[in-house]
Chains A and B, each alone.
Chain A
């Protein structure tokens, strides 16, 4: 366990002075030079490893010491523990310029594997990876049948082809493919011999090793696979495990068109189809790669057998887990095979259809459904399979039932995200299933938020935007409802996934209450309903759960998701949808689940997005005049940060003008003026009280500005607003206001009032500044010094400043 002792050890290792390190290195060197390297050397190397690895900065080690580490690593007689440490230290120092290590003379497979681990960690600046690959292959080729096993070398090969896909030559690839066929398909069916210790009491009964068995204990019915078991294993059985573990990577590497670096498939087929290919028939034939085809054939049989074997009831828990992993791998390999050679498709389809049916009835194997679905996504069209039912099952049932499994949630969402381009016609099902997908998000928001940010643009369209926005705003509410659902369900009683410290009997009862059933059903729906429900009653009901950590975490994710939602929606929203969304923002701004700080954070996003929507479709201010007046008149949103109110009032001032919408009338402007005037009056006249928090100064200044803007458009109002502004100025100077808002805030209000008053003294200038024509946003007005704008702005600011300067205080 990590304790204070460990912390201090770590610090010592980091802070060791150069002098001391030098001394320590020479001690290590001396120990390594001894003929009989003992526990002392191992202890010293462990410390050296810690010193090198504990810091992110390079440590200077004595060259003799580094050389000795390399010699020890390569010395054939050295015990494994020591070699492991030497390799680890050299690897920890990498990349490192002073390395002289080479694998050229190392023949022992285990040792070569260690040396390779150091060399592969150096990077691939001078084709080190290739040379490691080549040497490993030479050792593999030269191996005597009875010699030591090449088992440790196979992972090196996989790593090499992963790091440098062109590192092996074609004949080498063929050779390994042939070997893999042998290992995969023809491993012994008899168990291996126990390595008898030869003790006096361990009477070797001279018993023949028995046959290998299946995971359920039955005698193996067919060839050996990773799901075959026994007491001891033969070397070829070990190689079988290695071979299957590397199979998929190897198939991808060696598959058509002859590995990376070869011409693209398209080019090649054109070549084959032309007369040219007839002329160069010999070279084409050599590229047909029979060993690869043979490997694919054997891989196919192997996967078939694994699928059959995974249906057996495993005796051990570990084997049951392995069965599932094997099932996933088998389907992935079959997918690769069918992509590389479509002639496998026929044979695979029937098998996978049966597998799908089997998996649908087995909740324990649910994760294997994803690769099966992936297979049908990749090949469904070519194989003319109706895949709709498969996705329907996947998207409707699984998220509702298994949203609480973190790994499944991650894999499921990743599956959706990775396959967006493949869904094609089925994308509709995915889109409609968003309420279900959101369950994963609501329950596992920390790891999935970024995934959904990427997924949202593809999920949302004009038809679902409004419903999705409601759902996003209600996401913390969904988390709470899912929590209740889990508490109620008997199936999940194995272990408490929810916050057991919270007791919520009232909520639980409510879930069964017929009055709320409809709302809960709507909240927990699997597919888009096409309608929206007011969930406010549920907010109240679920309030006891609002403090749950999971609900709070989900609430924290919502603002990010809202941003992603709006940036996607604003790409395609037309006027009608924009208006609808703006209206939704007004409605929902005071109808949110009460999670600590949730409202303030959401308002910040909603208010800025409200302005984006207005900018996108300025007419919405005129179209929503009634609702906006209502919103302003109701005085909602005065308190708190007031960000939503500020945006709405600003938008009114900006877009309620004939220049944006011809339908805008003087009456309308006057009406808004009165509404806002009343609001400003209410805000400024209300006495500070303990129950009501103060109104933020931004709201006051934006109200004043908007009133002035409206007055500049309906100039009869100018005397009224001027009077109001001078009152405001006086008010802001009064000590009562200062004490309520603070000196700075009162100052800001005073300055704004003064500026606006000065502007209004020249109504035509005021109109020009406060209601600029649309062209003003064009760059010409800002670049060209001869156009009116910069000149006007200079004049105005001088005017405003001068007047301000004349005023007392």
Chain B
């Protein structure tokens, strides 16, 4: 069987990328065979997380206020869009901020629609008690795709999690392991809620950047999703607690 494949030039045409599958398809091309289809493109160079963000989720009926990004971290930088306009550093930064805000708004509306659809009572913004653990496995969550050019140059996937009035989201390269990303996002949310005591009244996420950064540096270094089993997670948590005492 393999010999047959070889004889047909299999090796010579070793496909270089799954990205070929992403190429837009005309109906007439659909029937094309395996080799020619897989050969063309190449894989996305890296499969990592592009950005992490925390933002507000407003109550479904509340129209006042805006969706606020409370924290965001972009890992690396996309190259500037090729639109022929001059690119100052300032404009590039503005663009990055706008991209993150665009993601936050979409997550907020996705989360709201999901909440409405599942018929849950509108989220109570303030938890009753800070001692009550937040059931992250039941928190609203989802994923959606961002087409290339809107708002990022590359196509991306957003994985999000809504916990009370906070939205957590990972912006992923298009072909990341979604199960791992989901698990990582849940882990990050749990760590942030616990170590920043986000549910206790009066705590402020806005002035806790060192802790958020400390957690990200360990659990999502440079946007790398990690395969951490329970014991590794505990080990990293201990290391974090030692480095950033409360």
Assuming the contacts A226-B227, A269-B12, A422-B37, asked whether A498 and B217 have C-beta atoms less than 8 A apart, the reply is no
For the complex, count residues of A whose C-beta is within 8 A of B: 141
Are the CB atoms of A325 and B45 closer together than 8 Å? no
Say yes or no for B180: interface residue by CB 8 A criterion.
yes
Q: Which residues of B contact A384 (CB under 8 A)?
A: 1, 4
**A156 cross-chain contacts in B, Cβ below 8 A:** 222
B109 contacts across to A, CB distance below 8 A = 446
Quick check: is A500 within 8 A (CB to CB) of the other chain? yes
- Distance (Å) between the CB of B159 and the closest chain A CB? 8
Report the separation of the CA atoms of residues A253 and B143 in the bound assembly, to the nearest whole angstrom: 27
**A152 engages B177 (CB within 8 Å):** no
- CB of A631 closer than 8 Å to a CB of B: no
Given A56-B97, A253-B45, A550-B117, A265 contacting B12 (CB threshold 8 A): yes
- Contact mask B86-117 → A, CB, 8 Å, 1/0? 00011011100110010000000110011011
Verify A158–B206 contact, CB threshold 8 A. Answer: no
Alpha-carbon distance A495/B140, docked complex (angstroms): 13
The interface residues of chain A lying within 8 Å CB-to-CB of B148 are: none
How many whole Å from A498's CB to the nearest CB in chain B?
6
Report the separation of the CA atoms of residues A325 and B240 in the bound assembly, to the nearest whole angstrom.
24
Let me know if A241 and B225 touch, CB within 8 A: no
Which residue of chain A has its CB nearest to the CB of B119?
A499
B226 touches A85 (CB 8 A): no
Q: Is the CB of A245 within 8 A of B225?
A: yes
Q: From the candidates A13, A231, A383, name the one contacting B231 in the complex (CB within 8 A).
A: A231
Query: Are A549 and B119 neighbours in the complex by a CB distance under 8 Å?
Result: yes
Provide the B178-203 mask, 1 if CB < 8 A to any CB of A, else 0. 11101100010000000000110111
In contact, B222 and A497 (Cβ under 8 angstroms): no
Residues in B whose Cβ lies below 8 Å from that of A451: 145
- A365 to chain B minimum Cβ distance, whole angstroms, is 10
Per the 8 Å Cβ criterion, residues 105-138 of B in contact with A are 109-110, 113-114, 116-119, 125-127, 138
Interface of A is mostly: helix
* Contact status A162-B76, CB under 8 Å: yes
Task: Specify which chain A residues have a CB less than 8 angstroms from the CB of B61 in the assembled complex.
Answer: none
Given A159-B48, A269-B12, are A245 and B224 also a contact pair (CB < 8 Å)? yes
Residues of B within 8 A of A419 (CB): 21
* B90 contacts A123, C-beta separation under 8 Å: no
* B210 close to A (CB within 8 Å): yes
Q: Could you mark each residue 20-58 of chain B with 1 if its beta carbon is under 8 Å from any beta carbon of chain A, else 0?
A: 111101010111111001100011111110000000100
Instruction: Using A80-B243, A256-B14, A548-B119 as known contacts, say yes or no to A245 and B226 having CB atoms under 8 A apart.
Output: yes
Chain B residue numbers with a CB within 8 Å of A549 are: 113, 116-117, 119
- Among the listed A94, A270, A319, A418, which residue makes an inter-chain contact with B229, where contact means beta carbons less than 8 Å apart? A319
Q: Which residues of B contact A113 (CB under 8 A)?
A: 217, 221-222
CB pair B76–A407 under 8 Å, yes or no, is: no
B206 and A10 within 8 A (CB):
yes
Q: Are A155 and B224 in contact (CB under 8 A)?
A: yes
Q: How far is the CB of B127 from chain A (nearest CB, A)?
A: 7
Q: Is the CB of B229 within 8 A of A446?
A: no
Known A410-B142, A424-B32, A549-B117; judge A328-B92 contact (CB<8 A): no
B residues near A114, Cβ cutoff 8 Å: 217
B34: min CB distance to chain A, Å: 5
The residue that A382 contacts in the complex, of B34, B71, B73, B138, with Cβ under 8 A, is: B34
Residues of B within 8 A of A381 (CB): 33-34
* Distance to closest chain B CB from A58 (angstroms): 5
CA distance A257 to B39 in the complex (A): 13
Among B46, B165, B209, B243, contact of A2 (Cβ-Cβ < 8 Å): B165
Contact A244 B227 (CB under 8 A): yes
Instruction: List B contacts of A171 (CB < 8 A).
Output: none
With a cutoff of 8 Å between Cβ atoms, the chain B residues found around residue A49 in the complex are 209
Q: Verify B143–A447 contact, CB threshold 8 A.
A: yes
Q: Chain A: which residue is nearest B10 at the CB level? A: A342
Q: Are B183 and A242 touching (Cβ within 8 A)?
A: no
Contact B210 A163 (CB under 8 A): no
Please, which residue of chain A has its CB at the minimum distance from the CB of B12?
Answer: A269
CB distance from B27 to the nearest CB of A (A): 6
A260 lies within 8 A of B45 (CB): yes
User: A73-98: contact bitstring with B at CB < 8 Å (1 yes, 0 no)?
Assistant: 00000001100110110010111110
What separation, in Å, do the CA atoms of A252 and B173 have in the docked complex? 14
Let me know if B65 is at the binding interface, CB within 8 A: yes
Once the chains bind, are B72 and A343 in contact (CB under 8 Å)? no
Q: How far is the CB of B155 from chain A (nearest CB, A)?
A: 10
Knowing A421-B23, A553-B113 touch, does A260 contact B89 (C-beta < 8 A)?
no
A163 to B201, CA, bound (A): 41
Query: In the assembled complex, how far is the CB of residue B6 from the closest CB belonging to chain A, in whole angstroms?
Result: 7
Q: Given A85-B210, A159-B48 in contact, is the A2-B166 Cβ separation under 8 Å?
A: yes
Which chain B positions have C-beta within 8 A of A407?
141-143, 178, 182
By the criterion CB–CB under 8 Å, are B47 and A6 in contact? no
For the complex, what is the distance from the CA of A226 to the CA of B37, rounded to whole Å?
A: 34
Given contacts A46-B207, A88-B209, A339-B14, contact A80 B34 (CB under 8 A): no
Whether a CB of chain A sits under 8 angstroms from the CB of B11 is yes
Contact across chains for A328 and B29 when beta carbons are under 8 A apart:
no
Q: Are B47 and A411 in contact (CB under 8 A)?
A: no
CA distance A422 to B38 in the complex (A): 8
Over the window 211-244 of chain A, the binary record of Cβ atoms lying under 8 Å from chain B Cβ atoms (1 yes, 0 no) is 0000100000000001111111100001001101
Q: Please indicate the chain B residues that have their CB under 8 angstroms from the CB of A325 in the complex.
A: 177, 179-180, 183, 227
Q: How far is the CA of A260 from the CA of B41 in the complex (A)?
A: 12
Say how far A370's CB is from chain B's closest CB, in angstroms: 9
**Contact between chains at A500 and B119 (CB < 8 Å):** yes
Chain A, residue nearest B146 (CB)? A450
How far is it, in angstroms, between the C-alpha of A319 and the C-alpha of B207 when the chains are bound? 33
Q: Is A5 interfacial (CB-CB < 8 Å)?
A: yes
Smallest CB-CB A-B distances: 4 pairs: A162-B46, A499-B119, A56-B97, A269-B12
A-B contact pairs, 30 of them (CB 8 A): A6-B70, A6-B204, A45-B210, A80-B244, A87-B213, A88-B73, A95-B89, A123-B79, A155-B222, A155-B223, A158-B48, A163-B46, A241-B227, A241-B228, A246-B224, A325-B177, A325-B183, A367-B178, A368-B179, A411-B143, A420-B30, A421-B29, A421-B37, A450-B147, A458-B25, A458-B30, A499-B117, A548-B117, A549-B119, A553-B116
B interface, CB within 8 angstroms of A: 1-2, 4-6, 9-18, 20-23, 25, 27, 29-34, 37-38, 42-48, 56, 65, 68, 70-77, 79-80, 89-90, 92-94, 97-98, 101, 109-110, 113-114, 116-119, 125-127, 138, 141-145, 147, 157, 164-166, 173, 177-180, 182-183, 187, 198-199, 201-210, 213-214, 217, 221-233, 235, 243-244
